[in-house]
């Protein structure tokens, strides 16, 4: 359907990725590809290193192959077949990597869930993905899953990883199983199911501006984009010690946290605890990290924790520091150069693209604060959507602002929104994938991030859909309507604020604002719930009845109202 790009074989980086992954005649199982790459290296090379080398646990490529084979067999034994979903709800730790690779080997479609989500986002994502088996920890099961199970018939068996034990499993009921125990009973030997490169491997959830969250489908071919981009944008090489700080519940945690290092025969260093500036900076040195992939929020928090006059860190092994998730400010780039010894390279991609698309690479010197340029094989354009549904491609100008678009058909491109072909089709126009991100391309062809074309909120590297936040608030009896918006924040990029219109009989008060914040946090979890609640007598609507979040945000920031011709009435109310 979208074949604007040259044949993939014509792009050297993609052809060599296919060779490395052992993808021939359209066959590829990424779980098996990791074994193949591990077998090519010494079997005792470390695949997963928990914490710094002098004290943490280590899992070799040989052990990784054996354990993930066992997980695949356990999944088959409990009835998981090709294409069935396996949800993974785990915090940072090697169990996440093992569960994902085992499920891929079994031919399952792996759906990572973010452990910080509240009950509503968890349940809605499991429903959107049409249910399946869940791998989680005893702790998360007790806290997040057990209370949902009676109302969530879509959820099948729950497998508890180590830390859970037979007793915890038994107390969870007949469908709660001890994964470790079942692995010990399972036969060993290769267990990977033969897969086609176009068969689905993952579902990653994005929270839209309207409607329920969408499940983005990626196939095993996404591994080709991950492999090629990790080499070009991150300079990742066999034997490197690689640390990706992304949470496992987000797409970066899967594609670069789990897959990129293992598809390159590198060692993935896992820092299991929560953010701690001293420990993180210590890990960079003690674990002799070569390539570090992190987020602007983490970098800004480290900058805040470091004294202004602190001497540069001695990190002789470090070669690349890269960042993803939200725009990287020039100060953070420079802080990297001064303190870590390397200017931080920005990278841009999104769940739908499957892998890094634009990055600052040594190939050309992008200015600090820029996203960089498209990776090899990709063709990016700046476009404007015309009212008629057509596009204007703004390529003929030296400097231009508009929506970022790519010629469709790169290997890691998403294959569907599960069960929503109309929404998928709407992402493409005239052979281009439309990203929804607004950018500027300068005269030297570097891209700069400007904002979202829609009302998605970028907070701490996570894309939060306004509608999911609003729906939770509107379930509260005092709330008539709500608009969720992102306000600029120096550390997390944007923080979520909700402006609510109350039912006529209800009075606004600070106590009610606190109650609404508590209500939203209990349902959505801390990362998605608004940090602030404001009240307004009415919210502005378009003539078709949609809330104009942009206008609500403009008012909050004191910006000019802009074009009001779409409004049903002139807004005369101000948020209190």
Partner 1 sequence: MNRNEIRAAVLKLLARIAPEANVASLAGDVPIRRQIDLDSMDSLNVLAGLTEVFAIKVDEADYGRLQTIDDMVDYVAERRAAAKGA
* Cβ distance to partner 1 smaller for residue 274 or 572: 274
Q: Is 542 in the site for partner 1 (CB under 8 A)?
A: no
Kindly state the number of chain residues that form the binding site for partner 1, as judged by CB under 8 A.
30
The C-alpha atoms of residue 291 and residue 55 are separated, in whole angstroms, by: 21
The reply to whether 142 sits near partner 1 by the rule CB under 8 A is no
Q: Is 509 an interacting residue with respect to partner 1 (CB under 8 A)?
A: no
Binding residue for partner 1 (CB under 8 A) from 269, 301, 360, 547? 301
For residue 450, what are the contacts with CB-CB under 8 A and spacing of at least 6? 401, 437, 438, 439, 440
Q: Does 171 bind partner 1 (CB under 8 A)?
A: no
Q: Is 331 in the site for partner 1 (CB under 8 A)?
A: no
Q: Which is nearer to partner 1, 10 or 275 (CB)?
A: 275
Angle among Cα 435, 110, 434 to the nearest 5 degrees reads: 10
Q: Which stretch binds partner 1 (CB under 8 A): 74-82, 99-107, 168-176, 512-520?
A: 512-520
Distance CA 514, CA 76 (A): 48
Our finding on whether 374 is near partner 1 (CB under 8 A) is no
Site for partner 1 in 202-231 (CB under 8 A): none
Distance of CA 141 to the CA centre of its chain: 22
Q: Is the CB of residue 418 less than 8 Å from the CB of residue 130?
A: yes
CA dist 191 to 70, 185, 269, Å? 8, 14, 26
306 interacts with partner 1 by CB under 8 A: yes
| Segment (H or E) for 169 | helix 166-171
Residues facing 533 on adjacent strands: 498
CA separation (Å) from 442 to 148, 304, 329, 372, 391?
50, 31, 17, 10, 21
DSSP character at residue 73: H
Tokens coding 455? 């009302």
Q: Which is nearer to partner 1, 290 or 295 (CB)?
A: 295
> Where does this chain touch partner 1 (CB under 8 A) — which range of 148-156, 300-308, 315-323, 429-437?
300-308
x/- track of binding to partner 1 for residues 443-482 (CB under 8 A): ----------------xx----------------------
- Binding flags for partner 1, 248-287, as an x/- string (CB under 8 A): --------------------------xxxxxx--------
Do the strands 345-348 and 358-359 form a parallel or antiparallel pair, or are they unpaired? Answer: antiparallel
Among 3, 43, 514, 542, which residue sits at the site for partner 1 (rule: CB under 8 A)? Answer: 514
| CB-nearer residue toward partner 1: 379 or 517 | 517
| Minimum separation from the CB atom of position 331 to partner 1 (A) | 16
Q: Is 16 in the site for partner 1 (CB under 8 A)?
A: no
List, as one string, the DSSP characters of 265-277.
Answer: T-EEEE--S---H
Asked if 4 touches partner 1 (CB under 8 A), the answer is no
Of positions 170, 184, 194, 518, contacts partner 1 by CB under 8 A: 518
Sign of the Cα pseudo-torsion (96, 99, 102, 103, in order): negative
Does 165 sit near partner 1 (CB under 8 A)?
Answer: no
Is 305 an interacting residue with respect to partner 1 (CB under 8 A)?
yes
Residues 6+ apart with CB under 8 A from 326: 295, 296, 297, 458, 460, 461, 493, 494
Residue 297 touching partner 1 (CB under 8 A)? yes
Neighbours of 526 (CB within 10 A): 11
Residues of this chain that bind partner 1 (CB under 8 A): 116, 118, 274-279, 297, 301, 304-306, 459-460, 489, 491-492, 495, 514-515, 517-519, 521-522, 525-527, 531
């Amino acid at each position: 359907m979208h074949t604007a790009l040259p044949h993939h074989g014509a792009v050297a980086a993609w052809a060599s990725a296919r060779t490395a992954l052992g993808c021939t005649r359209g066959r590829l199982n990424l779980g098996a590809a990791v074994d193949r790459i591990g077998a090519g290296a010494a079997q005792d090379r470390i695949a997963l290193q928990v914490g710094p080398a002098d004290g943490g646990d280590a899992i070799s490529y040989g052990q990784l192959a054996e354990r993930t084979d066992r997980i695949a067999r356990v999944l088959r034994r409990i009835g998981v077949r090709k294409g069935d979903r396996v949800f993974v709800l785990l915090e940072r730790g090697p169990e996440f990597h093992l569960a994902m690779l085992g499920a891929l080997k079994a031919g399952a479609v792996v759906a990572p869930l973010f452990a910080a989500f509240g009950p509503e986002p968890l349940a809605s994502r499991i429903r959107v993905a049409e249910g399946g088996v869940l791998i989680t920890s005893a702790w998360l099961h007790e806290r997040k899953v057990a209370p949902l199970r009676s109302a969530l018939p879509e959820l099948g068996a729950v497998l508890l990883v180590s830390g859970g034990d037979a007793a915890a499993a038994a107390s969870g009921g007949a469908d709660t199983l001890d994964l470790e125990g079942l692995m010990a009973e399972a036969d060993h030997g290769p267990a990977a199911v033969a897969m086609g490169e176009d068969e689905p491997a993952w579902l990653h959830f994005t929270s839209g501006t309207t409607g329920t969250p969408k499940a983005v489908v990626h196939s095993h071919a996404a591994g080709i984009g991950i492999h090629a981009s990790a080499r070009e944008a991150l300079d990742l090489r066999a034997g490197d010690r690689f640390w990706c700080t992304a949470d496992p519940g987000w797409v970066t945690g899967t594609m670069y946290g789990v897959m990129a290092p293992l598809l390159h025969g590198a060692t993935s260093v896992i820092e299991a605890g929560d953010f701690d500036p001293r420990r993180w900076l210590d890990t960079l040195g003690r674990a002799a990290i070569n390539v570090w992939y992190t987020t602007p929020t983490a970098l800004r928090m480290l900058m805040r924790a470091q004294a202004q006059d602190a001497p540069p860190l001695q990190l002789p092994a470090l070669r690349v520091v890269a960042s993803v998730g939200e725009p990287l400010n020039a100060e953070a780039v420079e802080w990297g150069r001064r303190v870590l010894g390397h200017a931080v390279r920005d990278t841009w991609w999104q769940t739908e693209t499957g892998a890094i698309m634009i990055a600052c690479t040594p190939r050309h010197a992008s200015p600090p604060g820029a996203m960089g340029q498209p990776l090899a094989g990709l063709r990016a354009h700046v476009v404007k959507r015309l009212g008629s549904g057509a596009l204007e491609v703004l390529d003929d100008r030296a400097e231009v602002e508009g929506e970022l678009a790519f010629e469709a058909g790169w290997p890691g491109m998403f294959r569907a929104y599960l069960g929503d072909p109309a929404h998928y089709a709407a992402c493409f126009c005239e052979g281009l994938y439309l990203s929804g991100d607004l950018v500027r391309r300068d005269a030297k062809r570097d891209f700069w991030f400007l904002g979202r074309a829609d009302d998605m909120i970028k907070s701490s590297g996570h894309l939060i859909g306004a509608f999911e936040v609003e729906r939770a608030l509107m379930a509260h009896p005092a709330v008539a309507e709500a608009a969720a918006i992102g306000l600029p924040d120096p550390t997390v990029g944007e923080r979520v604020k909700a402006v609510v219109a109350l039912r006529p009989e209800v009075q606004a008060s600070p106590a009610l604002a606190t109650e609404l914040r508590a209500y939203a946090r209990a349902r959505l979890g801390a990362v998605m719930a608004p940090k602030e609640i404001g009240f307004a007598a009415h919210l502005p609507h378009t003539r078709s009845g949609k809330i104009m979040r942009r206008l609500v945000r403009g008012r909050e920031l004191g910006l000019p109202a802009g074009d009001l011709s779409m409004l049903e009435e002139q807004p005369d109310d101000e948020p209190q």
